[in-house]
Structure 1
Amino acid sequence: MTVRVVLGVSGGIAAYKACELLRRFTESGHDVTVVPTAAALEFVGAPTWAALSGKPVSTEVWADVHEVPHVRIGQQADVVVVAPATADLLAKAAHGLADDLLTNTLLTARCPVVLAPAMHTEMWDHPATQANVATLRARGVVVIDPAEGRLTGADIGKGRLPDPVEIFELVLGVLDRGPEASQDLAGRKVVVSAGGTREPLDPVRFLGNRSSGLQGYALARAAAARGAHVTLVSANVTLPDPAGVSVVRVETTAQLREAVVAATSTADAVVMAAAPADFRPTSVSDAKIKKAGDGSAPAIELEQNPDILAEISRERARPGSVIVGFAAETGDDTGSVLELGRAKLARKGCDLLVVNDVSGGAVFGSADNEAVVLSADGDAVDVPRGSKSALAHVIWDQVARRFAD
């Protein structure tokens, strides 16, 4: 289905990155109208936007007045995205100012609005900007937290425009939920773990698993789209950082535990989508383990890793928090996939358990997933095969319902 996208671009150096975002939308078959501010055209000229979108570009309410563009563009949009959104643009949007075509469009839009701020750290942290962001979020606007990294000049900090690919994915998630989608996680702090841990054997080898991190990243992206402050603990994942998400990188199960436990002290919800290694070597060789001349293999003694899900479920750092676990099962002579999942839910003590049948390597590395979401009160929600983003939203639906209870 073709979506009518309004891509607003305000006057920051990151305006050039919006070209990649525009390309993502147009190559996906969507109809895009670019509405830059006059300042944005100082960074990227109108011919570039016109060529990439296939449409004329204007910043003025006085152009084509007979078509009433200052009202029509917002009224007809399915989604409005502003990337980058400068501190000035955020202030105007928060206070309902309308002195150009983009700010008029924001006032007339009745569709989802996504703002992707980009500015220097001091500007983002200023109380005025934070108050404007809070006002916009309270109105249901999706304001993505900026990324951390290199800014203009030699400065490094929070204020960088998130990866355009990740902004695109977040917008698709907003559209998937429809025009009535709420910011039901606004103001909530959530922790998501993703990927698979690695336990070193020697400087070049490790014990690990096949988790790609795709489901955990989909969960983080979905939570951000629903207004949450998201901390993503990422174990050996090479995917781009989701837009608006703080990422903590770890390698081993012990490091994963340390990061998750630290983050849970202020978290309203924790979703353990990572696949921690159950065991680790009792000792790690300082040098590469060599092959034996007689063809024999070295014996590797293992010890059990801490059970992170059981620990954070048992010792709730924040009363009333919701804990979600994952169970990748194959079924065996002790029980079916679902039976093993119910037993794990009781053993771990979490509130929800997402059970995947991974027989034959299913799920790992795939863009799709199917699962059964079990709850401690006995409910079960079947999620048919679909995108990992769709499953992520079902999980957050269940979490949000518990917040409302």
Structure 2
Amino acid sequence: MTKKPHRPHWENYYENEPDCFSVEGEDLKHDFERLQLAMEMVGFLPTTRKRIFSLLSAILHLGNIRYKKKIYRDDSIDICNPEVLPVVSELLEVKEEMLFEALTTRKTVTVGEKLIVPYKLAEAGTVRDSMAKSLYSALFDWIVFRINHALLNQRDLEESAKILSIGVLDIFGFEDYESNSFEQFCINFANERLQHYFNQHIFKLEQEEYRAEGITWHNIDYIDNTSCINLISKKPTALLHLLDEECNFPQATNQTLLDKFKRQHEGNSYIEFPAVMEPAFIIKHYAGKVKYGVKDFREKNTDHMRPDIVALLKSSKNAFICGLIGIDPVATFRWAVLRAYFRAMVAFRDAGKRHVERRSGESGHVFTQLCSGHIVHLGELQRLL
């Protein structure tokens, strides 16, 4: 395992000036045309593609927002480049003044009154990033769901049919930079789990099957990383669970988190602590040792959208954005299918009645009886739909 050069944090990826650029040896125009074609092939209409790209553009512009402290005002902040706000506001289809308030202040309700508290400089950056990450995550999940549905075969919906599928696993490789934080910790844990799965199915279970069948072979030794996984995730004293505990204590600091790690796991061969007073710990992964700085571990572990941001996005005039916020995309699709089904039933019933009335002058009573199994509570559902 070789050391890699330091890579900037996630927020710096999208915090760039909105200038166009080219990549040597790459035809970006051709790549974008291929992307458009691929999206069209799986059923993304031009209007849907426009919504997707508009939201991605909003996320990137959101990352260009900069904050500064107000002069002569303790802890109060302002936006350095307010010209970005109208762009984000237009793309998200929310009111500009509401966007400004949500990105610079938080509302706190106490007994009998509502307080508006300005964010501190670091807090505002976290709120902005949480908003961008949450929007991107919701969009990603929605796209994956739509693609999966587009690739469904009608036979897959039959209970007796064997479902054929292709699984694609796309994750970061093992990471070790000059400065490693919570992101690398999570990525490397995922890789540990994958390595454990590989060990279990390629080495352990396969060799047990050879023994059971009496096959002669040379035993293959492999590194069992179960203890490393337990250190990170096994309740109740795993590092992730200790981190969750510290996130619930208002007075917790980087040092109290590190002290808790030391108390619970000092002597564990899979974790070390630097001899000098350094806010870091070292984990012995299957691929090698990695040092993690605990700075921002707690903040990143509690990364989420505040209710003010959720309310802002739900106020959007764009139904696509409203549908992404706080709603499971699977539940959204199922509700759409259910609604379409009952609307179709209503149209089918009405058309059938008209047809019967034209043919025989009857009221359509026979037809209604035939459909009664489906429309017992249709009146109630129509009001809901």
- Superposition TM-score tier, normalisation by shorter sequence: under 0.3
Which structure is richer in relative contact order (CA contacts within 8 A, separation 6 or more)?
2
Report which of the two has the higher share of strand.
1
With normalisation by structure 1, the TM-score equals: 0.20
TM-score normalised to structure 2 length: 0.21
